[in-house]
Amino acid sequence: MQYIPYNTPQKLKEMTANRKQDFSLLFKRLKAKKPKNLDDVVHELHEEAFDQFDCLICANCCSSISPIVTEKDIERLAKRMRMKAVDFIAQYLYIDEDKDYVFQQTPCPFLMPDNYCMVYEDRPKACREYPHTDRRRMVQILNLTHKNCEICPVVHGITEELVKKF
């Protein structure tokens, strides 16, 4: 995989829009065929990509989307902030249209100016797992992967490689 450059969310949206037809066809094919080697291919690309890419340069995910925050995340973060869970919820979260807790604001309230996370060791599970390209059963999250092409340069790069392979 070629070096993955940092791109702003606006640039990634533009790049993804330019590849809309190719990416849409790819994800449609993958959903229909469910290739047995998809996880292995994506995981290999994930490893290659993260050997080249430094998330601290980017932080698009932290600055443009809000993760789902679970009850366990709330408990852990409230403890970290020395707050009661109810107070943490009131100060930082709201319930979205899918009935999930998410942060009230973007960028994330815990994103520092140097792109480090103020609560990194206690960050939500969704943050720990992002961009989800190293999980099993990738076929189950192809819609999310497609959407993440607009946010994460690594996901965009992996998708570009998948177009070549599938």
Res 50: pLDDT: 94
Q: Could you tell me if 25 and 56 lie in one domain?
A: yes
Residue identified by tokens 């099993």 is 136
Q: Which long-range contacts (CB under 8 A, 24 or more apart) does 97-101 make?
A: 100/68, 100/69, 101/68, 101/69, 101/70, 101/74
Domain of 145, in residue numbers: 9-62+131-165
Check: CB of residue 12 under 8 Å from CB of residue 153: yes
Q: Could you tell me if 114 and 135 lie in one domain?
A: no
Judge whether 120 lies within some domain: yes
pLDDT digits (tens, 9 = 90+) for 61-98: 999 999 999 999 999 999 999 999 999 999 999 999 99
Q: Could you tell me if 93 and 79 lie in one domain?
A: yes
Res 3: pLDDT: 66
pLDDT digits (tens, 9 = 90+) for 126-164: 999 999 999 999 999 999 999 999 999 999 999 999 999
